[in-house]
Amino acid sequence: MADTPLVNVTIDGMSVGVPPGTPIIEAAKRAGVLIPHYCYHPSLPSPAVCRMCLVEVEKQPKLAPACVTSVAEGQVVHVNSPKAKAARQGVLEFLLINHPLDCPICDQAGECELQDYVFQEGRSGTRYDEYAKRYNPVEDFGPDILYVPNRCILCTRCVRFMDDVAKAPVLNVSERGDRAFIGIDDSQLLDHPWAGNVVDLCPVGSLLSKDFLHKARAWDLDKTASICPGCTQGCNINIDTRDDVVVRIRPRPNLEVNRHFICDVGRSDYRWLNRGDRIETPLVRQGDRLVASDWDPALDHVAALLETLPGTAVLLASGRAGTESLGLVKRMLGARELVAAVKVFLGEEAPLAGVPNLALRRERIPNLRGAEMLGYTAEWRRALAALPEAGVIVVLDADLDADEMAMLERAPGALVWLGTVLSDAWRRAEAVLPITNMAEENGTYVNRDGRMQRYQQAKGPVGMARPAWWVAGEVLLGRGPDAGAPATGDEAFALLGEYWPAFAGPTYADLGFTGRELATAPAGVGA
Amino acid sequence: MGYPHPSHPRETVVLSKHFGDPAARTFQGWVQRGGYQAIRKALEMGREPLIELVKQSGLRGRGGAGFPTGLKWSFMPKDDGKPHYLVCNADESEPGTFKDREIMRWTPHQLIEGCLIEAFAIRAERVYIFVRGEFTEIFPILEAALQEAYAGNAAGPNIFGSGVNIDIVVHRGAGAYICGEETAMLNALEGKRGNPRIKPPFPAQAGAFGMPTTVNNVETLAAVPHIVNNGAEWYKGLALGNPKSTGTKLFSVCGHVQRPGNYEVTMGFPMKDLIHDLAGGMRPGRTLKAVIPGGSSVPILTAEEAEACLMDYESIAEKGSMLGSGGMIVMDDTTDIVKTIWRYTKFYAHESCAQCTQCREGTSWTARVLERIIMGQGRTSDLDLLLDLSEQMTGKTICVLSDSCAAPVVSGIRKFRGEFEAYLSGSRAPALQVV
Amino acid sequence: MTHSNASPIEIEAHEPVFVGKTRKQLEALYPSYPTKQALLLPALWLVQETRGWVSEASMAEVGEVLGLTPAYVKGVVTFYTMYHTHPVGRHFIQVCTTSPCGLCGAEETLQAILRESGCAELGTTSPDGRFTVVEVECLGACGFATPIIVNDDFIESVTPERVPGILARYQ
């Protein structure tokens, strides 16, 4: 632990103590002062080229670049002195002389650091008039990325990311002086599995995602903190929605999990969250038909089924289901013998070489660890094999292929389907209950390292859909306001903790936005 | 000597003694002229006394920065067990300067011997001589001299039986003025873009390939054997007054003089005499207008300032300029000061590495404003704009290229404002056609 | 940068540069540097000496030999002005026009060279393929204005009068 004494500095009048070696720009954050910058990034090596972060340090004759100047005991730093502000204003003016007036057509508008700082402290007009601006045509850098050289401020974050974090040096700075631009070789385009991060890193609208091109304005977006459902890494993300439609996924910083990055798979795989072919009302079997129903009668029907039907149970769950849903649905099946399985899709691993323990994982579901802790098995075959004997079959939104659907069709047991999207497989079900997908509810995932992280509701439910944990809670504990069934994710999580000691203790508030590692309990204990 | 002119009696010929003498290029020729004694003396002397000697002599970096050489050598670690490097800066590209080329093409062994002595002192077993790519005449001369030095056991393993190994490699640059900046040179050596590095870390801590390195200019290195041979007192004695500027300096005099060339004089020599006497003075009917004393990166002096100036680091600094590389650009009354300065800013804009915002954009912008002025399209606000841009470009970047672009602009406007105003008012015809 | 739609027949297969003697020349340099990366500038010089210019295919080849990506090599090549990234005339002329030479008639010398060489403008090759003329920054020979470099010949003190005689040497 830190026996090394902290270094005390004063920044814009506020005193802070920070570990030795901390750059002034980071110390300033602790003091609540944001030093404007472009090329600096906490996950990249600092080249100090943009010159925005120059600050005045008392007793030093020249302005110091805060991103590469370490704190010294007793330093007095002025971020907003007239000298420092004048220097920043100079940098901004220089950056704008060749920068096109593209704001009306530029994707970055509204979340552009050039706009932000110019608005905050730039000149109100340019003195670079009557001169032509440098012009270069837009370039296609690869699968999802466009490069607009005219807007580039040569901060070189993209080059440093590919060089030092992705360890695939396929971007360069070409030419010299004001002719410089970011270059790429035709033989090696930007198809690295983590290349999409350069779009986020770009402070301006120079590197753009084709997927997001001209799709939505930044100020129309609602941003919700969530967790990527793409694999067991559990990268922290923001889900950006506009009018209740997910339009973009971006990384959210978490120094313990994904630092500032997400892979291109997680970034691009969000369209399923917007699917329109949804089950919109509960359906209950009446004879040979499934009839739309209200929640209460549907829940009563399911509760009755589970009470009366004998025999073993099979629970086929989607790996995208949250921990609360997985746990409470399993619990809902009562004391009978049960095979509960979660379907794991596999893909190739793609590490981000420059960050320890960060990769697109082979297991392409977000909650494998959570499922295992709750007693689910990943051996899907085992569950399928148990189908013919099962008295009750519950499907928790699992994505079944044609063979699996045929097996389900043949199995005699009573089928209860909790699902998001329409499927032929539930045509023989006793009850079909519409549930929310992970963007439409609050819940948690446990990543491969045992970190429990919250995902939050980013858009409204479709139709009458409710979270699966709510459904299970109602069935388990009863309908009505006095029954004690969980009404919020927090309550569902607390209820989970009552059944599984591994989850007892922390509340949603404790998990916060960056999650918390749980002490591991052996799988299945407390089930 | 003011090669190609014969030595002037008022020169103090040390480094340039054998300029123009092809026989001095050979190993034997150099030995006959007293060469390869100093290295033997240095090997015997030992490292610490050697470094102390160079410190005492007051030798300062002759590339432009004027940093005390012995002090620079003493920054190198003593016992770290890492490989050390000496890089000789032969990238001479400062406009107005052409002295290192002469040292290399006439007396390559003088340079080699200096490299050997310093390499020994700083515990470097490898020396890279970084020569700018345009020095096509010099490469074969240097390579031949090195071959002879190896054959004569002056370079390579176990030099002169001392047990010391010193390998010397010539590394060719490829066209970038910025590589004359020591950290940019290290990047070019390592096979990277020639971008200057942020300091700290300094080269003595982490230089070439991350190892302790010292970079020194050709002229600085060439002076070392003479200091070893003749002692610190002798070198200090070659100063006409200011004890902080010792020894001799090769001044590259060019521009509007009758006898352009390199003149070796003791520090403190009067600039007036160098221009009007040694270099032959003005062309018939012309008068002195301005002088840039130390390469285009230093402020311009008016004729009066120049003629009252002594040539050492402190005296020129007092006059508001710098001794720099000693590249003296002399301008007579036919000179269009504004156009001359414009062409300098074009040079800097071409050479900017593109890292720092102020330099990348400011050098070009400055050049464009000046271009408009000499096209007759300038505005009165342009002068204040230029001064403001120059202020933004000074003291705010990783290296001093942008400061160097600002220096002639600021000093030019301050001291020759009338010339700018003549363009702005239209009383002077445009020097360039509008394109 | 531009995506060419040239048919395969038009794109010539790249003849490797680093074979035989040239390979040996490069390998002879290996002991002089602690990293392969440091051989980049010398390797590019070998390419230019052998082929007259540095093509993208050559850049890729250098990258392969030294363990560097083509993009990396390109970034370095485009930084340094002396590497030609397209073919030039048989004789490449560099003329210094920076101010110290500018004060001593460099403009006139440059114009004389342009006229005599037959090049329509700077940076282009003469119709007979003989010359390419470019303007360069300070060549470090300011006392010998105006210096020019033709191929590897550094020629000092060039005046308009001397130009025809000098250029005649280069057929």
CB contact under 8 Å between C69 and A184, yes or no, is: no
pLDDT tens, A469-510? 999 999 999 998 888 999 999 999 999 999 999 899 899 999
Q: Which residues contact B163 (CB under 8 A, 6 or more apart)?
A: none
Q: Chain C residue closest to A160 (CA)?
A: C72
Among B126, B169, B343, the residue with its CB nearest the CB of C98 is: B343
Summarize the confidence of residues A73-86 as an average pLDDT. 97
The CA distance from B311 to B319, in Å, is 11
CATH classification at residue A364: 3.40.50.740
> What is the DSSP pairing of strand A236-242 with strand A245-251?
antiparallel
Among A51, A63, A128, the residue with its CB nearest the CB of B356 is: A51
Q: Chain B residue closest to A64 (CA)?
A: B396
What are the angstrom distances between the C-alpha of B263 and each of A384, B141, B252, B339? 95, 23, 6, 28
The rounded percent of chain A whose pLDDT value lies above 70 is: 98
Residue B394 contacts A where some CB pair is shorter than 8 Å: no
- 3-state SS of chain B? CCCCCCCCCCCCCCCCCCCCCHHHHCHHHHHHCCCCCHHHHHHHHCHHHHHHHHHHHCCECCCCCCCEHHHHHHCCCCCCCCCEEEEEEECCCCCCCCCHHHHHHHCHHHHHHHHHHHHHHCCEEEEEEEECCCCCCHHHHHHHHHHHHHHCCCCECCHHHCCCCEEEEEEECCCCHHHHCHHHHHHHHCCCCCCCCCCCCCCCCCCHHHCCEEEEEHHHHHHHHHHHHHCHHHHHHCECCCCCCCCEEEEEEEECCCCCEEEEEEECEEHHHHHHHHCCCCCCCCCEEEEECCCCCCCCEEHHHHHCCEECHHHHHHCCCCCCCCEEEEEECCCCHHHHHHHHHHHHHHHCCCCCHHHHHHHHHHHHHHHHHHCCCCCCHHHHHHHHHHHHCCCCCCCCHHHHHHHHHHHHHHHCHHHHHHHHHCCCCCCCCCC
Chains that touch B (3 or more CB pairs under 8 A): A, C
Question: Given pLDDT bands bounded at 50, 70 and 90, which one contains residue C69?
Answer: very high
A191's tokens? 């198809």
> What is the DSSP pairing of strand A283-286 with strand A245-251?
unpaired
A290's tokens? 């499934």
Q: Which H/E stretch holds residue C108?
A: helix C106-117
Q: In terms of domains, do A82 and A138 share one? A: no
Average pLDDT along chain C:
92
Chains that touch A (3 or more CB pairs under 8 A): B, C
Question: Residue C125's pLDDT is what?
Answer: 96
> How far, rounded to the nearest angstrom, does the alpha carbon of residue B81 sit from its chain's CA centroid?
32
Residue C32 contacts B where some CB pair is shorter than 8 Å: yes
3-state secondary structure of C113: helix
Q: In terms of domains, do A486 and A403 share one? A: yes
Which residues from B are below 8 Å from C41, CB to CB? 171-174, 188, 191
Q: Residue A160 belongs to what domain range?
A: 130-220
Q: Chain B residue closest to C84 (CA)?
A: B174
Q: Which residues contact B428 (CB under 8 A, 6 or more apart)?
A: B419, B422
Residue C144 contacts A where some CB pair is shorter than 8 Å: no
Task: Confirm if A18 and A27 have CB atoms less than 8 A apart.
Answer: yes
Q: What is the DSSP letter of A312?
A: -
Task: Confirm if A273 and A455 have CB atoms less than 8 A apart.
Answer: no
Chains A, C: CB contacts within 8 A come to: 47
Task: Confirm if B218 and B92 have CB atoms less than 8 A apart.
Answer: yes
- Whether A429 maps to a domain, the answer reads yes
Q: Please state whether the peptide bond connecting residue A297 to the residue before it is cis, i.e. omega within 30 degrees of 0.
A: no
Summarize the confidence of residues A68-83 as an average pLDDT. 97
A272's tokens? 């399923």
Residue B117 contacts A where some CB pair is shorter than 8 Å: no
**pLDDT for residue A519 is more than 80:** no
CB contact under 8 Å between B355 and A65, yes or no, is: no
C130's tokens? 């003989």
Sketch the domain layout of chain C as residue ranges: 20-77, 91-168
Residue A54 contacts B where some CB pair is shorter than 8 Å: yes
The CA distance from A168 to A189, in Å, is 11
The minimum CA-CA distance between A177 and chain C, rounded to whole Å, is: 9
pLDDT tens, C120-140? 999 999 999 999 999 999 999
> What is the DSSP pairing of strand A54-57 with strand A64-65?
antiparallel
Q: Which residues contact C102 (CB under 8 A, 6 or more apart)?
A: B339, B340, B343
CATH H-level, domain C91-168: superfamily:
Glutaredoxin (3.40.30.10)
Which residues from B are below 8 Å from C103, CB to CB? 255-256, 329, 331, 335, 340
Q: In terms of domains, do A395 and A485 share one? A: yes
Q: In terms of domains, do A313 and A366 share one? A: yes
Question: Residue A525's pLDDT is what?
Answer: 44
Residue B364 contacts A where some CB pair is shorter than 8 Å: yes
Which residues from C are below 8 Å from A168, CB to CB? 69
B59's tokens? 């030798």
CB contact under 8 Å between C70 and A174, yes or no, is: no
Chain A residues with CB within 8 Å of chain C CB = 139-140, 168-176, 183-188
Q: Which string of DSSP letters, residue by residue, matches A464-522?
A: T-B-HHHHHHHHHH-SSTTS----SHHHHHHHHHHH-GGG-S--HHHHTTT-EEPPPPP
Question: Residue A426's pLDDT is what?
Answer: 84
Residue C5 contacts A where some CB pair is shorter than 8 Å: no
User: Which of C29, C44, C94, C103 to mutate against chain B (most B CBs within 10 Å)?
Assistant: C103
Residue A85 contacts B where some CB pair is shorter than 8 Å: no
**pLDDT for residue A294 is more than 70:** yes
Question: Given pLDDT bands bounded at 50, 70 and 90, which one contains residue A34?
Answer: very high
C160's tokens? 């308009």
Q: Chain C residue closest to B172 (CA)?
A: C42
Q: Choose among C34, C63, C76, C26: nearest CA to B192.
A: C76
Q: Which of A67, A92, A117 represents a domain boundary (last residue)?
A: A92
Question: Given pLDDT bands bounded at 50, 70 and 90, which one contains residue A129?
Answer: confident
Q: State the Rg of chain C over Cα.
A: 18
Residue C122 contacts B where some CB pair is shorter than 8 Å: no
Q: Which of A32, A65, A92 represents a domain boundary (last residue)?
A: A92
CB contact under 8 Å between B350 and A177, yes or no, is: yes
Q: Is the ipTM here above 0.90?
A: yes
The minimum CA-CA distance between A42 and chain B, rounded to whole Å, is: 18
Q: Please state whether the peptide bond connecting residue C146 to the residue before it is cis, i.e. omega within 30 degrees of 0.
A: yes
B105's tokens? 């093409």
Summarize the confidence of residues C137-153 as an average pLDDT. 95
Question: Residue A413's pLDDT is what?
Answer: 94
Q: In terms of domains, do A293 and A213 share one? A: no
Q: Which string of DSSP letters, residue by residue, matches C37-86?
A: GGGHHHHHHHHHHHHSS--HHHHHHHHHHHT--HHHHHHHHTTSTTS-SS
- Whether A112 maps to a domain, the answer reads no
CB contact under 8 Å between C78 and A168, yes or no, is: no
Task: Confirm if A455 and A443 have CB atoms less than 8 A apart.
Answer: yes
The minimum CA-CA distance between A69 and chain C, rounded to whole Å, is: 28
The CA distance from A69 to A86, in Å, is 20
- Whether A481 maps to a domain, the answer reads yes
Residue A125 contacts B where some CB pair is shorter than 8 Å: no
Residue C21 contacts A where some CB pair is shorter than 8 Å: no
Largest CA distance in chain B: 72
The CA distance from C9 to A430, in Å, is 67
Residue with token string 């093509």:
C55
Q: Chain B residue closest to C74 (CA)?
A: B193
B361's tokens? 């954009």
Domain count, chain A: 3
Instruction: Give the other-Cβ count within 10 Å of A141's Cβ.
Output: 23
What are the angstrom distances between the C-alpha of A222 and each of A194, A460, C34? 24, 12, 53
User: Which of A135, A152, A174, A178 to mutate against chain C (most C CBs within 10 Å)?
Assistant: A174
Q: Please state whether the peptide bond connecting residue B201 to the residue before it is cis, i.e. omega within 30 degrees of 0.
A: yes
Among A139, A173, A187, the residue with its CB nearest the CB of C75 is: A173
CB contact under 8 Å between A185 and C74, yes or no, is: yes
Residue with token string 């909650």:
A367
Residue C105 contacts A where some CB pair is shorter than 8 Å: no
CB contact under 8 Å between B92 and C41, yes or no, is: no
Summarize the confidence of residues A353-377 as an average pLDDT. 97
Q: Please state whether A177 falls in left (phi above 0), alpha (psi between -120 and 50) or beta.
A: left
CB contact under 8 Å between B172 and C99, yes or no, is: no
Query: B93-130 burial string, b = 16+ CB within 10 Å, else e?
Result: bbbbbbbbbbbbbbbbbbbbbbbbbbbbbbbbebbbbb
Residue type, A222: D
Mean pLDDT of successive 10-residue segments in chain B (435 residues)? Answer: 78 94 95 96 97 97 95 96 97 96 97 98 98 97 98 97 97 97 98 96 97 98 98 93 91 96 95 96 97 96 96 93 96 96 97 98 97 95 97 97 97 97 95 80
Q: In terms of domains, do A161 and A50 share one? A: no
Q: Which H/E stretch holds residue C107?
A: helix C106-117
The minimum CA-CA distance between C132 and chain A, rounded to whole Å, is: 21
User: Which of C29, C41, C95, C96 to mutate against chain B (most B CBs within 10 Å)?
Assistant: C41
CB contact under 8 Å between B174 and C103, yes or no, is: no
**pLDDT for residue C4 is more than 60:** no
Among C35, C41, C98, the residue with its CB nearest the CB of B347 is: C98
Q: Phi first, then psi: give them for residue A476, nearest 5 degrees.
A: -70, -50
Among B198, B357, B395, the residue with its CB nearest the CB of A95 is: B357
**pLDDT for residue C11 is more than 80:** no
Task: Confirm if A49 and A38 have CB atoms less than 8 A apart.
Answer: no
Report the helix count and the strand count for chain C, using DSSP H and E.
Answer: 7, 4
CB contact under 8 Å between C99 and B175, yes or no, is: no
The CA distance from B315 to B294, in Å, is 13
Instruction: Give the other-Cβ count within 10 Å of A409's Cβ.
Output: 12
Q: Among 1.10.10.1590, 1.10.760.10, 3.40.50.300, 3.40.140.10, name the CATH number for the domain at C20-77.
A: 1.10.10.1590
CATH classification at residue A189: 3.30.70.20
Q: Phi first, then psi: give them for residue A339, nearest 5 degrees.
A: -110, 115
Q: In terms of domains, do A447 and A504 share one? A: yes
The minimum CA-CA distance between A185 and chain C, rounded to whole Å, is: 5
Sketch out chain B's domains with CATH numbers: 22-236 (3.40.50.11540), 248-332 (3.10.20.600), 337-425 (1.20.1440.230)
CB contact under 8 Å between C100 and B135, yes or no, is: no
Q: Which of A68, A92, A116 represents a domain boundary (last residue)?
A: A92
The CA distance from B133 to C82, in Å, is 7
CB contact under 8 Å between B192 and C76, yes or no, is: yes
